[in-house]
Amino acid sequence: MKSLRAALAKLPAYLWSGWGAVASLLLLVAAWELVAQQYGPLVLPDPRSAFATLAHSLALGDAGPELMATARRALAGFASSVLVGSALGLLAGVSMTASMMSRPIVTVLLGTPPIAWLVLAMLWFGASDGTPVFTVFVAAFPVVFVGAMQGARTLDNQLKTMARAFALPPRMMFLDVYLPHVVSYLFPAWISALGISWKVVVMAELLSSPDGVGAALAVARSQLDTAATMSWIVAVVGLLLAVEYLLLEPLKREVERWREPGAAPGGAAT
Amino acid sequence: MTGAVAPALRVRGLQHAFGRETVLEGIDLELAAGEVVALVGPSGCGKTTLLHLCAQLQIADRGTIDDGFATRACMFQQPRLLPWKSALDNIAIVLAARGVGRDEREHRAREIGLRLGLAHEDFAKFPHQLSGGMQSRVALARALVVEPDLLLLDEPFSALDIGLREEMYRLLLDHLAARRVGVLMITHDLAEAVRLSGRILVMAAHPGRIVARIALDAPVAARDDEWIYQATARLLSRAEVRDSFGLPPLHAGRGRPARAPSASIGSDLRIVEGAPVLPFVRRTQRC
């Protein structure tokens, strides 16, 4: 409760620090505008028309359901990869044999292109939600797995011995010794996995689904509608930015506050 | 457990091996309440293993450890603080493990922390924001906050500079003076052993065994730098000690220093021989 309050208290400062990020994004938009002026709207429509197209389709109610469908599939795949990857990765990290055995398998999984999984998934699941969800799961799983395994492998033996010497009960052993360490490995892995999920789901939808942002992109491509294409890209990337910087990054900062040089534990000092 | 008898740590015939290598053999020692016993020896002679066995962090292959003390606490070579917890929580966590309520444990942690030289603003800091000396204070506070009857120290101050080390000794001795705590401390620093302990057990390696037992009969409070220097020099002139640390034997005869340190100082503060060296150790000494 205390840490939640401390996190909320720091939110304005965090948002204010976002101006730098906003400025660099605007620079990117300016470059986009420049290229658009150079090559004309068929090659690259200017940002304003892309944003206008997005606003228009949002107002019409076309974009909402597509984005929802995409988000649903991405999050379903992401959630299952987080659950399964974290659990299996931690188990593998606890046992030396398991981690040695799983390393080459993980390399194979990481090395297999998602598009190859997508072809298999289309054969197995057809045009159902299963295809994008499975592809997302397979693409994100090894990243989470490796993070969890590293977290469990690198548990500090000295701290474990200390905790045993002071007879910490199992619950405290888990919550106060193991978990904070493992989380510091899991969290970055989860964030990368989310980025992967978001990219892979659009690709999977483009080839396999009747609806969702990927399907909408396929339609825009067949109609040579570059403005619509750019508006979908803006929507997807905007959502990812929002989830990452408004949800995950503040959460990560709160969880890893002990790493910062100038940090003080929230609420512990009175 | 031991009834009316004063609590003590009794180790009998301890033997331990890692794989096929015997690290400890025939270890006997006894530690009573209020007594400070130092284990000195070269690196790799099994000191830390012996301490871990006494702390019941490992199970011995053979022999018995009878720990009659009610509460036990450890300090390690490194502070070993949880990096994600504040200094206060690092101290209080061992009380939490004993089911002490939040307010009381924070109060007690704060009290002992202040006594050991932590400032109010240090309690909220994370370990990496504290200097090495402050981290050691937190680690000492964590060990003392449970008011242990048996304190197991594994070279806890070896990384500190000499001034800080002196201060930590003083803080530790103040605490020991107030309570009858049994202390088993590991060190490879003979001067540290001479400074703090009532008995010194000299260990040798391959396999780890006790080769000499030396009692220091001077009260700890009366030991000044000069006395410590003299006593350390005399300890270092003993054949078992030189042999254990791999030092070349002294020229002038068996275990006697070529020039004995001045006897004018510390003539009343003698090093006296304690229990005789175990016969079996004598046999294996030259192996």
Residues 6 or more apart whose CB falls under 8 angstroms from that of B157 comprise B136, B164, B165, B168, B169, B192
Does A43 reside within a domain? no
Whole-angstrom distance, CA of residue B234 vs CA of residue A142? 63
| Inter-residue contact B151 to B184 (CB < 8 Å) | yes
- Is B270's pLDDT higher than 80? no
Give me the pLDDT at residue A269, please: 37
In Å, what is the CA distance from B77 to each residue of A21, A162, B51, B136?
Answer: 45, 11, 12, 10
Does A72 reside within a domain? yes
Domains assigned to chain B: 34-58+150-273 (3.40.50)
Q: Which of helix, strand or coil describes residue A17?
A: helix
| Inter-residue contact A191 to A198 (CB < 8 Å) | no
Chain B segment 72-101 residues within 8 A of A by beta carbon are 73-74, 76, 78, 80, 82-86, 88-89, 93-94, 96-98
* CATH for A252: 1.10.3720.10
Query: How far away is chain B from the Cα of A90, in angstroms, using its nearest Cα?
Result: 20
Least confident of A3-17, A41-55, A94-108, B120-134: A3-17
For A38, the token pair is: 């150079």
- Is A95's pLDDT higher than 90? no
Residue-number span of the structural domain to which A217 is assigned: 66-259
B109 touching A, CB under 8 A? no
Give me the pLDDT at residue A126, please: 85
- Mean pLDDT value across chain A: 86
Give me the pLDDT at residue A265, please: 52
Classify the phi-psi angles of B241: left when phi > 0, otherwise alpha if psi is within -120 to 50, otherwise beta: alpha
Does A203 reside within a domain? yes
| Inter-residue contact B79 to B135 (CB < 8 Å) | yes
**Could you give the number of structural domains in chain A?**
1
A180 touching B, CB under 8 A? yes
Residues 6 or more apart whose CB falls under 8 angstroms from that of B79 comprise B127, B132, B135, B136, B138, B139
| Minimum CA–CA partner of A256 in chain B | B84
Q: Alpha helix locations (H) across chain A? A: 2-17, 19-39, 47-60, 63-94, 96-111, 114-125, 130-153, 157-165, 170-172, 179-208, 213-222, 226-242, 249-255
Query: How far away is chain B from the Cα of A194, in angstroms, using its nearest Cα?
Result: 25
A269 touching B, CB under 8 A? yes
| Dihedral angle sign, alpha carbons of residues B36, B42, B48, B53 | negative
Does A74 reside within a domain? yes
Query: How far away is chain A from the Cα of B62, in angstroms, using its nearest Cα?
Result: 21
pLDDT tens-digit map of A177-222: 888 888 888 888 998 999 899 899 999 999 888 888 888 899 888 8
Does A33 reside within a domain? no
Does A108 reside within a domain? yes
Between these two residues, B6 and B213, which has the higher pLDDT value? B213
| Inter-residue contact B45 to B121 (CB < 8 Å) | no
Among partner residues A176, A259, A269, which is closest to B93 by beta-carbon distance? Answer: A176
pLDDT tens-digit map of B131-155: 988 999 999 999 999 989 999 999 8
Per CB-CB distance under 8 Å, the chain A contacts of B82 are 159, 176-177, 180
pLDDT tens-digit map of A109-158: 889 898 999 999 999 998 888 999 999 999 999 999 999 999 888 888 88
For B213, the token pair is: 């037992």
Between these two residues, A53 and B271, which has the higher pLDDT value? A53
Give me the pLDDT at residue B89, please: 92
Under the banding of pLDDT at 50, 70 and 90, the label for residue B255 is very low
Q: Do A166 and B73 touch (CB under 8 A)?
A: yes
| Minimum CA–CA partner of A262 in chain B | B129
Does A9 reside within a domain? no
CB count in 10 Å sphere of residue A30: 10
What's the mean pLDDT in B185-206? 89
For A91, the token pair is: 């188990």
